[in-house]
Amino acid sequence: MLIRVLGSAAGGGFPQWNCGCPNCRGVRDGSVVATPRSQASVAVSADGDAWFLLGASPEIRAQIEACPALHPREPRHSPIAGVLLANGDLDHCLGLFSLRESHPIRVYATPRVREGLTQGNTLYRTLERFPGQTRWTVLVAGREVVLTTADGEPSGLVVEAIPAPGKVPLHLDGLQDPSPGDNVGFLIREPARDRTLAYFPSVGGPSEALIPALERADIVFFDGTFWSSDELVALGLGARRAEDMAHWPLGGPEGSLKMLAGLSARRRVLIHINNTNPILRDDSEERRALAAAEVEVAWDGMELDA
């Protein structure tokens, strides 16, 4: 399985347009040892021909251009056969609307995420310019679904959605009651080679299903949004703690890093990293803690083979 990181930052990216926190200022003026990152998205493929995007980030156009495997191979063509949406947050979905150039696309998501994007949303009509432009495959927890090529053939990959603690997207807050379908992680399996990728970019905290799911994977991508609960509060950037935003912080005795360090996966990689997170600085103490636990930080352009 081929895995290409298109973007590795949380919503807003790194640096974020309206952020003057020490990390964002430092990466702009070169005074911190860090690399800019676009918003999280990963491309996967069994054969290098049909590709699937895990998330359609707001920066999708530049991300596709930066990844030659995703370029058209005919006058009108795209190797992108489908898009998988882990939740309805705009940093995961907004890029769908940038794929509106009258090209058929298949989207894999829970019914909740689909409803959140299609109901009461006039902009969605741009993805319905002709019959069959956007096709949906519904993801149901615990049921494996075949990822298909543009011709409807099996691509060599299958996906299973695993519910993860999460929340209703900010723009639907108060309009939808919370549901287990709001947020999932993906187990993407290549049966022919018996390889599995776990992709869990948003996890609000531990759950019963989580560790058994992660233990099935050779490579784990996991929520690296925040190092500490009060990261935003301490920087004077708001009142919300990591848990209020449904992101399990990495550090501390109850942090996710301990859990990740105990997994048997060959590689453990953090993604969806918020611009305030000290792990973005290559020389930080927190980054050394990750290295000691053999946990990596994803970067735009990172390539892995499962």
Stretch that binds Zn ion, among 42-50, 173-181, 209-217, 271-279 (CB under 5 A): 271-279
| Using rule CB under 6 A, residue 300 touches ligand MLT | no
Residue found by looking up tokens 């287990």 in the block: 180
> Residues 123, 140, 170, 235: which binds ligand MLT (CB under 6 A)?
170
**Cα-Cα-Cα-Cα dihedral of 232, 238, 242, 246, to 10°?**
-140
Can you name the residues that pair with 146 across neighbouring β-strands? 158
| Using rule CB under 5 A, residue 11 touches Mn ion | yes
Sheet of 195-200, strand order: 145-148, 154-163, 184-190, 195-200, 219-223, 267-271, 295-297
Q: What is the per-residue binding string for Zn ion in 21-60, x denoting contact by CB under 5 A?
A: x--x------------------------------------
Residue ranges in 273-302 that form contacts with Zn ion under rule CB under 5 A: 275
For the CB of residue 239, give the shortest distance to ligand MLT in the complex, in Å. 14
Nearer to ligand MLT, 9 or 198 (CB): 9
Residue ranges in 83-122 that form contacts with Mn ion under rule CB under 5 A: 89, 91
Nearer to Mn ion, 55 or 181 (CB): 55
For the CB of residue 272, give the shortest distance to ligand MLT in the complex, in Å. 7
Q: What is the per-residue binding string for ligand MLT in 121-160, x denoting contact by CB under 6 A?
A: ----------------------------------------
Q: What is the per-residue binding string for ligand MLT in 54-93, x denoting contact by CB under 6 A?
A: -----------------------------------xxx--
> Which one of ligand MLT, Mn ion, Zn ion, none interacts with residue 6, CB within 5 to 8 A by kind?
none
| Using rule CB under 6 A, residue 249 touches ligand MLT | no
Q: What is the per-residue binding string for ligand MLT in 8-47, x denoting contact by CB under 6 A?
A: --xx------------------------------------
Stretch that binds Zn ion, among 11-19, 110-118, 239-247, 282-290 (CB under 5 A): 11-19
**Per-residue DSSP letters for the chain?**
-EEEEEE-B-TT-BS-TT--SHHHHHHHHT-SS---BPBPEEEEESSSSSEEEES--TTHHHHHHT-GGGS-SSSS--SEEEEE-SB--HHHHGGGGG--SS--EEEEE-HHHHHHHHTT-GGGGGG-SSTTSEEEEE--TT--EEEE-TTS-EEEEEEEEEE-S----GGGBTTB---GGGBEEEEEEETTTTEEEEEES---S--TTHHHHHTT-SEEEEE-S-SSTTHHHHTTS-S--GGGGT---SSSTTSHHHHHHT---SEEEEESB-TT-GGGSTT-HHHHHHHHTTEEE--TT-EEE-
For the CB of residue 275, give the shortest distance to ligand MLT in the complex, in Å. 12
- Return d(Cα 24, Cα 14) in angstroms, integer: 7
Please work out the total of residues on this chain that contact ligand MLT, with binding judged by CB under 6 A: 8
Residues that bind Mn ion (CB under 5 A): 10-11, 89, 91
Q: State the residues that interact with ligand MLT by CB under 6 A.
A: 10-11, 89-91, 170, 202, 245
